[in-house]
Each structure stands twice: as C-alpha cells, then as structure tokens.
C-alpha cells in the first residue's frame, strides 16, 4: 500500500471539541485560529442536518482541513461491531480486505439478491448494483448514474451539497438539479441498501487508515484541471501563503491522485491539496481490483486551501 505523507500538526491549533472522546460530537461552534477574512462554508453548499458526528459547517470548513478529527456515520460502528472485532485480530491488510469483502457479500446478500427481496419485476440489472459497481461507475463516468448515487450519499451522510454533475448545480430546483435527482433516484431504485453499503465501505476505509497509519493526519494529493474557473474559488488565501494559494469549494466528492505527474495528464494546471484522512471516502488500494488507477483517492468535498501550479 502507498505510504501516506504526514503533515506536521500546528501545536497552536485549538481543538474542535472540548469533549474527551475519540469521536467528537461537539456543537457547531466558531472556527478557531482562522486568519481574519477567510470564509466559512456557504449556506447554499450544506444541509442543516446530516448523519454523522459533526455538522457540515464544521467538517466542510477550513478549520477541519487544518485540524481534522474522526468522522463517524451514525450507527455504523454499533451495527457492524462483530466485523471490526474480527478485523482487530488480523495482522495482514490483505487478509482484512478479503474478510471485509466476504462480510459485505454475506451481510447484504450480494450473491443472492432474491434473499433481499429482488423479484423478476425488479430487473436483473439491479441485482448487480452494489458498492463495487458504484465505485467503478464513478471511475468510468463522474457524471453518470453511479456518480449521482455517490454524490447523493455524501449529501445525505455528511450534509455537503453537490456543486456539479454534468453541469452546475448551484441552483437547487433548476433543470440541472432535477436531472441529478432523477439520476440519483434511478441509481438507488431496486437496490439492496446501497447507501448502507457505502456507509460500511467508508467506515472500513477509515479503519484501515487508522490501523496502518495511526500517527498520520493528512495526505498530499493532486488534481489536474484545464480551467480553474470550473472550480468555485471562494477567496485568495492570506497574504503569507503567496498568490498561488486559493480557497476553493470543491464538489462534494472528487477524485485526486497521489502522483503529481499522473494528475498532470488530466489538465494544464495542478491543484495541490493537503487532505485530512477522515475526508478519504475510499482509495484504489483499499480493496483488490476496486479501481483501475493505482493511485486514485476519492475525497469528500468542502472548503480547501489549495496551491495552483502550471505545467
């Protein structure tokens, strides 16, 4: 597995929460230690409620990028405790991945969809709809049906609204928004708890990151772009960061690369981002054969400080 690069923590950064627990469940309080004038996550980019332990205003903001804490989707750890207790006893990551895939098959009856209520009227194609199909569909077409399911999952679980799906989604209720909602609904129709499968995939991803890299907080990732104007530049960063530093509102889920050279194949300019590990939804080497690209990382969105470099 690719080693993750640590970014030194700022000893002067105040904690996000004064509750001494591994998973923060604090209230939506003001962001600490941000330079004056930097924006918060726009109201139009977030929901007032979500299904995890931090509100979207915090997990999608710049403070979280600087001082992340663990994210947990409601109920997943308790429901699947036997799986994680089993994984605790396994030393090899490859064997843990194999056990996870087997658990998904058994728990969600992926090889026996009729046990989950599939009928001939549902259609055979929906029998193959699973977390792996969503992931591979995302990799094939980030504006397709499976990608709409994935963006809808982030919207539901983390409260971060999608900003783009084939075209801009900055106006909820617009024709573009309606198309996105229809694609999301079509992707979920006739499936077996597809979003719950994604919940567990995210929980397993975070488990593996914590297990393999217990002292790491961030990973430096890159994204190639042809038109920076396609991204929402919220502000230039503070004067000490240089003119190439920007504050960008990313789509609620996006693909990045661990390799700067690989990212350069997809655009004339490169965004360099220090991504908190809790914002990794999944990555190519998490499960064998899950994604074809060897260094692809799929990142939950929000506000990020980025640095722009021209090739």
Q: How would DSSP label each residue in 155-202?
A: HHHH-BPP-BSSSB--STTSHHHHHHHHHHHHHHTT-SSHHHHHHHHH
Tell me what pLDDT residue 239 has.
47
pTM for the whole structure: 0.85
Tell me if 161 sits within 8 A of 155, measured CB to CB.
Answer: yes
Q: pLDDT means per 10 residues in the chain (311 residues)?
A: 40 36 44 58 95 97 96 97 97 97 94 68 64 94 96 98 94 92 93 94 98 95 83 70 78 94 86 96 92 86 89 63
Tell me what pLDDT residue 112 has.
76
Please state, in angstroms and rounded to a whole number, the distance separating the CA atoms of residues 35 and 58.
Answer: 16
The encoded tokens of residue 258 equal 């661990």
Tell me what pLDDT residue 3 has.
40
Please state, in angstroms and rounded to a whole number, the distance separating the CA atoms of residues 311 and 304.
Answer: 21
Please state, in angstroms and rounded to a whole number, the distance separating the CA atoms of residues 142 and 40.
Answer: 27
Tell me what pLDDT residue 10 has.
39
Tell me the torsion sign for CA atoms 271, 176, 279, 232: positive
Please state, in angstroms and rounded to a whole number, the distance separating the CA atoms of residues 5 and 216.
Answer: 7
Tell me what pLDDT residue 70 has.
97
Tell me what pLDDT residue 295 has.
86
The encoded tokens of residue 307 equal 């640095």
Tell me if 103 sits within 8 A of 94, measured CB to CB.
Answer: no
DSSP secondary structure code for residue 65 in this structure: H
């Amino acid at each position: 597995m690719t080693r993750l690069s640590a970014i030194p923590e700022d000893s002067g950064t105040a904690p996000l929460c004064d509750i001494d627990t591994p998973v923060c469940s604090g209230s939506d309080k003001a962001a600490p230690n941000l330079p004056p004038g930097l924006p918060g996550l726009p109201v139009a980019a977030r929901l007032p409620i979500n299904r995890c332990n931090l509100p979207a205003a915090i997990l999608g903001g710049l403070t979280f990028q600087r001082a992340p804490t663990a994210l947990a989707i409601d109920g997943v750890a308790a429901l699947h405790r036997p799986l994680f207790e089993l994984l605790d006893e396994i030393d090899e990551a490859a064997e843990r991945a194999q056990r996870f895939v087997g658990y998904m098959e058994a728990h969600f009856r992926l090889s026996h969809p009729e046990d989950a209520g599939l009928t001939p009227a549902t259609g055979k194609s929906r029998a193959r709809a699973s977390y792996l199909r969503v992931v591979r569909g995302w990799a094939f077409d980030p504006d397709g049906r499976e990608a709409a399911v994935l963006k809808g999952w982030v919207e539901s679980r983390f409260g971060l609204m999608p900003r783009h799906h084939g075209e801009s989604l900055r106006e909820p209720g617009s024709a573009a928004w309606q198309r996105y909602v229809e694609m999301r609904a079509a992707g979920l129709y006739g499936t077996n708890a597809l979003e719950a499968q994604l919940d567990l995939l995210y929980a397993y991803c975070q488990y593996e990151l914590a297990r393999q890299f217990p002292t790491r907080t961030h990973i430096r990732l890159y994204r190639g772009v042809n038109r920076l104007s396609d991204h929402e530049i919220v502000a230039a960063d503070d004067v000490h960061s240089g003119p190439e530093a920007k504050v960008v509102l990313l789509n609620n889920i996006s693909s990045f690369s661990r390799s700067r050279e690989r990212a350069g194949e997809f655009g004339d300019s490169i965004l360099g981002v220090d991504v908190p590990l809790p914002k990794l939804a999944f990555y190519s080497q998490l499960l064998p054969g899950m994604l074809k690209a060897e260094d692809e990382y799929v990142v939950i969105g929000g506000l990020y400080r980025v640095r722009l470099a021209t090739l």
